[in-house]
Structure formats: structure tokens, C-alpha cells
Structure 1
């Protein structure tokens, strides 16, 4: 009889010290993961329909405050997205549903797709060939007589800076406009058409 009581006490103590083996309690695992392509506040994750978590700067990782036990089911979903992401479906949770163990909780990530906006420059008085504009890695060759040129789209809230890479033959072109006045700025929630290239 004493040995049975002793064995029961040992099992209870083992459960108290190792919640991952017996379940229940506050658990011993934190739900953590990586975050990609998030640039501002607004991303909110939820686990099992509760325990909401707002992802904050530097927007590279997350960790839920409540610990879970090994073999507990977790199911992480996106509840809200930043304003520069069009819809909830544009933030995808990878490996967000499984039974918890040290392997599965290390595989979780969230990747968002930021909305892109068109970047258009007005071209004034270009009468010769050879003009090349550049914005980051985007290069556009502009033909004589062109009135507007559309650069590659830019992420909303992302930086842009249109400059002259190559001047046209016999002319000099300068760039103005954008929120900074020199062809650069931060892309807003609408398409940018205020960049102007003037040639003389």
C-alpha cells in the first residue's frame, strides 16, 4: 500500500516538474516565429481563436505570451493586417497549425505581400534619344518625344528616388517633384504622378 502511494506521489511530482509530458498547466513552450515583409504596425495574430498578439517593431519575429505544453494543438491565424496590405489573405501563415513540440514551433513564419503603387514621371521637352531614368534597380530608357514614363511599381510606404542615369544627346535633364521636391519620397496610399523630368 505504501509503495502504491509512493508511486502516485512520484508520478504527480513528475507531472508538476515536466508539464510537457503530462499536459495542462502553463506549459513549457513559447509559440514563436519569423515575420517577413512587414514594415509597420497593424499585423495581429491569434492562436486558437484567442490570445491575440500585435506584432511590433522591428517586425521580424513574434512570440505569444501564453506558453503551451508539448502535444497541445496550436492554430495561428492572421486577424488583422497593416494598412499597406490589401487584405487579411495577403499575410500567409506558414506551418501555423500543428501539435506543439520543439520542432514544430521552430517552423512557424508569417509572410505578407505589401500593396504596390504605380510610379509615373512626366517628361518635358525631350527632343533627343539616350535618356535613361533609374529608380533603385529599375532602369527605363526614354525615347525622344515621350510625355510620360511608368517606372516599376513601388511598395506602399516604400521609398522611391527617380534620377537621371544617362543624359540624352545634346540635352540636360533634371528631376523634380515627389514629396522631397527632387524626384524622391515615400510612396503614399495613392499612385505617385508628381515626379517631373525637364530637359533643356
Structure 2
């Protein structure tokens, strides 16, 4: 269990932060950037949940928990040392991706076919889900970049990729099963 009695520690005042293994790195480092953007994505999900209810809200709550798992995964470098860790590191696993895929398939089965690219908007929930999608795509790009420099759990990258797809389909579902999607009209304002 996590206990936070004191919120400020002053240990980051020099521009460094601690990773999950206790090592200290620059706050502008790629690993911190990647899990920081995952945290940002989680905040956008919290905003979307203000407009969600029922099953959609429950799914978004599960995603928020997954995003904390993902942040814990990304803040723990060097996958090769997992077996030697005092506490087993929390890592993303295949079943989390499979759950997203199942939910995408279920939502997509009730949608109108796409005939055009769509613009973020329509309902408030849909607009917020599109924001979730774009922040998640940025987190994915940053995590992929991190993976070119250091070891990253491949399930973490796959989760982000699938999650952005989930948000796209959920945004369409939130627009009356795609009937209220805002369609892009190429060159409409020329």
C-alpha cells in the first residue's frame, strides 16, 4: 500500500527525479517524458468521465487504472533486472491489450461504417475521447522513442497503440453510434 504523508520532498528541486528502481534522472529525460504523458492521458480520461455513465464510465475507470499500471511500468527501467528486484515490478501484460481489443470489437460492431475522416466533436463525451486519443498517441510516440534508447516492455507500446484505437471507436460510439460524427469536408473553406 502507498502512504503519502508529505507531498513535497524537495528532492526534485535540482531538476532530477527518482525512478521506480531508486535511480535518479533528469526530469526532462525521455523516460520521465513518456510516463509523464501517460499521466496526462490519464487526466484527460478523468475529464471524459465527467460526461460518461454506465458501461462507458466503467470502461474508462478500468483504463485509468491501466494507465497507472503503465506509468509504474515505464518508471521502472531495465527489464533484465526484474528477477533481481526486491519487489516484482508492475508490468503491462497481454490480457490488458486483449481486453481493449474485445471492447473495440464490441463497440465497433454497432457503428455506422466510416465514409469520411471525422473531426473531433459531436457530443461532449466524444470530443473529450478524441482528446484522450491524441494525448495517448503522443504518449505512444514518446514511448516508442524511449524504446530506441532503453529497454521498454513491448506490451507497454502495444497497450498505447491499442488504447488510441479504443478512444477513436469509443468517440464514435459516443456520437450516437457514429450517426452524429462530424465529417471532414476536404477543401470546404477554400
Output the TM-score relative to the length of structure 2: 0.19
The structure with the largest strand share of the pair is 1
Structure ID, larger Rg:
1
Question: Greater share of helix residues, 1 or 2?
Answer: 2
Higher relative contact order (CA 8 A, sep 6+): 2
